[in-house]
Chain A
Amino acid sequence: MSISTQISSYLVPRSLWERGYGSTAPLALPVRDAMDIERRWRKGVLIRNEGKRYAICCKRLQGMVRELAIKGAPIAHVHLWGADEEADERGPRSVAYLAAMEYLRGSYGPKRWDGKNFVRANLKYDRLEAIFHPPGERLLAHLQLLEQVLSEARLSEMCGYAVRKVDMLASGSVITAVECEAAIRERHKLIAMGVERDCGLVDVLDLV
């Protein structure tokens, strides 16, 4: 009965995102603050306690989404990434998703057109492992990135490398390259559904 992380990914329709539900405020409020912090951070403006403020925004956002779910708000879809000790028959576990994201953030560079050639870019401006993605352009950009990852010819090799190298798995969690790849595919599927239904996405981390 060890305690590990379970992630619930909520697809929240734009109407709920922007207007709230009952006494729950719109998610767009904390998101706006968080996005401002992200923008400053990406520009290299390092303000004291900015990381802490960002974490508070994210926690607030998670609380609001959970509140929406409990109040019975019309959330479009919830995907559950199972905890570490759960069998992976229900799909890839959260540990596989976290490992995949850690690998992509640290080692992946998508090929992008710089006007003359395709060059390997870094992911500085990609919100790869953000826990929220507002509906619209942001979610679409995330979808395009995942599509590019899935189109890589060496995807299986990349996943094999990820399960061997990432810190996430240094402490005894075991996943296979297949599960890691499945996690990326599952995430892509989820984001594609969000884009199609004009939703935003919020990941809520629970310890179970």
Chain B
Amino acid sequence: METTIRPELEPRRNTDSEEALAWVPDAYTVFCDALNFTSWTVEGGSLPQRGDWSTYRLAAKDIILGVVTHRYNATTRALDVRSYFCGEHPLFKDLEATRALVVMLLCQAFQTGNSLELNFEQGVPLDVRTLIEERIGKIISGHTSVLRRETTEPLFVSLSGISSRLEARIKDHGIGVGTVCYQIFRGTWTALQVNTLLDRRIPLAWLFRKTPHAVGNTVLYMHLVSHLCLALLEEYALKRLENRQFGETTSRRVSVVEGASLSTYVAEQALTVASDDGWVDIPPGSPFTLVPLLFHATAEMEESVRRGVARLRRVPEGTRGVLVLPMDILSDAALGTESLDLLKSTKADWLIVGQSMAQLSAEVEQKLAITAEQIDENEVDAANVDKHTD
């Protein structure tokens, strides 16, 4: 982005008695300086460290919706925001750009200092205050510059869109909801996966506080990893059922049935798959549950399919069960064909997702590694480096 500094714009100086304490340069100057004097250029250079001022741009395709310059303040453990620009656009809902910028800043604050404190040096902007009022019903004075955790945590939870039931369940496990929200925004885990794990009685502490060690605590680790693979498998199946087409922004919407005893979903439109790798025919509004299958060996596939079909019969009345299988079933021509024939003969709904067992395990390992880096506060302090860039 090319920008020229307008020399006529002088940094704004406070004229009141706080001048010595609260001298803050004009936001526009901060933003221009950040762009013109950054150590990072198109030719290369170094990225700003967490204590340095960094300028982030929020854009959707060719529309710039916001620009913020911020840094982590090691003394206050808050994220200082020096310049903040946000614009509305008729393409998006009211305060959508503000929502995205606040999420970005809160995630940054959480990642750099495990805190959710924001210090807007020029006062909390009006749109941010409006968003807070709209989301959590709290009125913030125009003279306020620091947003404390008491305000930002409920805001963060509200922006993440997790249900109040899920929030209560997370709190029951003694896990900070902010931590879960951060990992959801980061894309490590989804609200759906967290919900699934809770349904399967997996302690969230293993995911967000201390994961059992693969070597030192193998049986618990394998127990956790198996359930995580299953959660991923279900997520992939739902994506497949939603059937979002390339270039489209909407898909067949599948939502969770709140309060059901096991993870149950419902879609407003009919969900249909009729191909070599799946047969699903779920009418609109019909609740369904996923019955995922994992294999230890290819020789076990047929037996697993039989067990899966038996499990379908135990699905509660009024709910349809969809058998979900990893791609491994297609890898062994002879055994796979027998298993597929068996599936087809049962007339049940079934679906093969495009991930193999090895891919699911590798993804789980990576997600666990990403989560673990945010668990240890000292780790966050010592090296604020995103080693798993998206």
A interface residue numbers (CB < 8 A to B): 1-5, 7, 37-38, 41, 50-52, 54-56, 58-59, 62-64, 66-67, 70-71, 84, 98, 101-102, 105, 129-131, 167-168, 170-173, 203-208
- Given known pairs A1-B315, A205-B226, the reply for A50 and B215 (CB within 8 Å) is yes
B interface residue numbers (CB < 8 A to A): 173-174, 198-206, 213-223, 225-227, 230, 261-262, 289, 292, 294, 296-297, 299-300, 303, 307, 311, 314-316, 361, 365
Q: Is the CB of A171 within 8 A of B204?
A: yes
- Hey, which chain A residues are within 8 Å of B219, CB to CB? 7, 98, 101, 129-131, 203, 205
Q: Is the CB of B361 within 8 A of A55?
A: yes
Q: How far is the CB of A98 from chain B (nearest CB, A)?
A: 6
Q: How far is the CB of A88 from chain B (nearest CB, A)?
A: 16
Q: Is the CB of A129 within 8 A of B361?
A: no
Q: Which residue of B lies closest to A174 (CB)?
A: B201
Q: Which listed residue, B174, B230, B365, touches A52 by the CB 8 Å rule?
A: B365
Q: How far is the CB of A28 from chain B (nearest CB, A)?
A: 18
Q: Which of A37, A54, A170, A173 has the most CB of B within 10 A?
A: A170
Q: How far is the CB of B387 from chain A (nearest CB, A)?
A: 11
Q: Is the CB of A3 within 8 A of B230?
A: yes
Q: Is the CB of A105 within 8 A of B365?
A: no
In the complex, A3→B308 CA distance in Å? 11
A-B residue pair count with CB separations less than 8 angstroms = 115
- Hey, which chain A residues are within 8 Å of B206, CB to CB? 167
Q: Is chain A's interface secondary structure helix, strand, loop, or mixed overall?
A: helix
Q: Is the CB of A208 within 8 A of B311?
A: yes
- Given A1-B262, A55-B225, A102-B220, 17 more pairs with CB closer than 8 A: A50-B215, A51-B213, A59-B222, A59-B296, A66-B299, A98-B219, A101-B220, A129-B219, A131-B219, A167-B203, A171-B202, A172-B201, A204-B296, A205-B219, A207-B226, A207-B227, A207-B230
Q: Is the CB of B222 within 8 A of A2?
A: no
Q: Which residue of B lies closest to A53 (CB)?
A: B214
Q: Which listed residue, B174, B221, B262, touches A55 by the CB 8 Å rule?
A: B221
Q: How far is the CB of B117 from chain A (nearest CB, A)?
A: 29
Q: Which listed residue, B215, B227, B307, B316, touches A208 by the CB 8 Å rule?
A: B307
Q: Is the CB of B199 within 8 A of A2?
A: yes
Q: Which of B198, B215, B221 has the most CB of A within 10 A?
A: B215
* 14 A–B contacts, CB within 8 A, in A order: A1-B262, A1-B316, A2-B201, A51-B215, A54-B215, A63-B297, A66-B296, A101-B220, A129-B218, A130-B218, A168-B220, A171-B173, A205-B223, A207-B230
Q: How far is the CB of A99 from chain B (nearest CB, A)?
A: 10
In the complex, A2→B220 CA distance in Å? 19
Q: Is the CB of A5 within 8 A of B262?
A: no
In the complex, A184→B214 CA distance in Å? 22
Q: Which listed residue, A67, A102, A203, touches B297 by the CB 8 Å rule?
A: A67
Q: Which of A52, A84, A173 has the most CB of B within 10 A?
A: A52
Q: Which listed residue, B262, B294, B296, B299, touches A2 by the CB 8 Å rule?
A: B262
Q: How far is the CB of B377 from chain A (nearest CB, A)?
A: 20
In the complex, A80→B315 CA distance in Å? 23
Q: Which residue of A lies closest to B206 (CB)?
A: A167
Q: Is the CB of A70 within 8 A of B200?
A: no
Q: Which of B204, B217, B223 has the most CB of A within 10 A?
A: B223
Q: Is the CB of B300 within 8 A of A67?
A: yes
- Given known pairs A54-B214, A55-B365, A129-B220, the reply for A173 and B201 (CB within 8 Å) is yes
